[in-house]
Amino acid sequence: MGEKEAKDKELKAKHWYKLHLVLGLFGSIFLLILGISGSLLVYGKEIQSLLTPMEITGGDRRLGFDELYHQFQKQVPDGSIAGWLISDLKNQPDQIWYHDKKNPSQEFVYLLDPYQGHLIGSLKDDRSDSLYGFLLVLHYSLFMGGVGYFITGCFAIIYLLLVFTGIKLYKRFWKSLFRLRFKESFQILFSDLHKFVGINAVWFHLILAITGGWWSIRDTLIRNHPEDNIVHGLWSETKSIESLLEKSESQIPGFQLGYISFPHHSKEETIGFYGNRFQSSGWESRYGSYVLFSSNSEKIVHQVDISKESILTRILDSFRPLHFGTFANHFSKIIWVIGGLTPAILSISGLFIFYKKRKNKIKSLAVRTQSLKLGSNVR
């Protein structure tokens, strides 16, 4: 390699380093927050259940949805259900998003015992007053609403760029793949740690950045969201939820319900049954398959059996179990808890490396300036 080529290569490396540095300084604090909150969210429901156990007796089977709907309506003010999240843990309540007619602008989340039909509490509409809800809102929107959701998406893109620039900087990664020099200075150790975590978990960083970034782009730029105006009376007690659920199960064999969306914006809005197949693989999300019914005629408007969809649709559906590490139960979840801490480790080690280099540079400049002063005084 000629001298000119070597200089060009060195200059390019400096440009890549500067880009990696700027992106890291700009996104480090946010990646620290998102990494720790994401790691806790993997077992967030279990932690929530342990810290704030609910008074649910449990049983062999849940009450029917029609009976639960009627019992629920007797215990709340006049209004309309917007969504019904079916608990996937036996000792946890269902969550029902509800609009009270007297408070049209406010949405409540009621906690319903699915075995007895009793209300056992309520949460804010974003569930931020529960540990799991707090972590969820922090992770997705930094408590800044839709703007915050877009911002976290931007940081997911920054995260992705950090991965690519890191790969570019450490092309010969195999030379320091498992190197951690504990007997050297803290600066060298943190530099080794930064490379070690960045290189060995590069596959994990790519998964988190791509899945998180896609959701933000999809939900803020691609999808159209209905207006916030609430229309009551679009679903009544005379209609049967269970009959529509039976139709859903006949359309999608082995259908396992996870969420019901009720019409509450307009007469044209559908009632939707979202779930997955009982025999589905771990790569299918909990809400990937669904059946939408007309709220007036109760005829099927649209349905999706994710197992019969295109490869691209199935890949996008797999983003949820990939992002949260639920595809192989506890085995993958434990790995994801550990992996979720890697952005935090990279943030802390990267900031420390920058601080030490900056400090050494200032010290070196001060020594050089002092030497120049001494030299001028001698002359």
Residue 58, sorted as left (phi over 0), alpha (psi -120 to 50) or beta, turns out to be left
The predicted pLDDT at position 378 comes to 54
The distance in angstroms from the start CA to the end CA of the chain is 44
Residue 353 confidence (pLDDT) = 86
Instruction: Check residue 224 and give its pLDDT.
Output: 66
Provide the pLDDT confidence category of residue 172 given band limits of 50, 70 and 90: low
Q: What is the pLDDT of residue 4?
A: 65
Question: Which has more confidence, 174 or 51?
Answer: 51
The pLDDT tens digits of the residues spanning 284-319 come to: 999 999 999 998 888 999 999 999 999 999 999 999
Q: What is the pLDDT of residue 99?
A: 92
Pure H helices in 91-228: 131-141, 145-169, 186-200, 202-217
Average pLDDT, the chain: 86
Q: What is the pLDDT of residues 2-17, one digit of tens each?
A: 666 666 676 777 888 8
The fraction of the chain above a pLDDT of 90, given in percent, is: 41
Report, as an integer, the average pLDDT of 191-208.
87
Please, are residues 185 and 359 in contact by the beta-carbon 8 Å criterion?
Answer: no
Q: What are the tokens at 74?
A: 């007797």
36-45, 165-174, 336-345 — which is least confidently predicted? 165-174
**Residue 178: pLDDT over 80:** no
pLDDT of 194 reads: 86
Question: For residue 300, what is the enclosing H or E element?
Answer: strand 300-304
More confident residue, 241 or 58: 241
Look at residue 101 and tell me whether its pLDDT is greater than 60. Answer: yes
**Residue 281, phi then psi, degrees to nearest 5:** -75, 170
Gyration radius (Cα) of the chain, Å: 27
* 332-350 pLDDT per residue, tens: 999 999 998 998 888 998 8
Question: Residues with Cβ < 8 Å from 346, sequence gap 6 or more?
Answer: 24, 31, 162, 194, 197, 198
Judge whether residue 177 has pLDDT over 70.
no
Most confident of 102-116, 178-192, 331-345: 331-345
Is pLDDT at 191 greater than 90 in this prediction? no
Mean pLDDT, residues 315-326: 94
Amino acid (1-letter code) at residue 196: F
User: Is 88 or 273 the better-scoring residue by pLDDT?
Assistant: 273
Order of strands across the sheet that contains 255-261: 119-123, 107-112, 94-100, 79-85, 255-261, 270-277, 289-294, 300-304
pLDDT tens for each residue of 224-248: 666 668 888 899 888 999 999 999 9
What is the reported pLDDT for 103? Answer: 80
* Packing angle, helices 131-141 and 44-51, rounded to 10: 150
Rounded to an integer, what distance in angstroms lies between the CA atom of residue 141 and that of residue 150?
8
Model confidence at 54, pLDDT cuts 50, 70, 90, reads confident
Residue 355's pLDDT is what?
86
Torsion sign across C-alpha atoms 226, 231, 237, 239: negative
Contact (CB, 8 A) for 160 and 152 = no
CA–CA separation, 76 and 8 (whole Å): 71
Residue 188 binned pLDDT confidence (cut-offs 50, 70, 90) = confident
Q: What is the pLDDT averaged over residues 30-47?
A: 91
Please tell me the predicted confidence (pLDDT) of residue 298.
Answer: 86
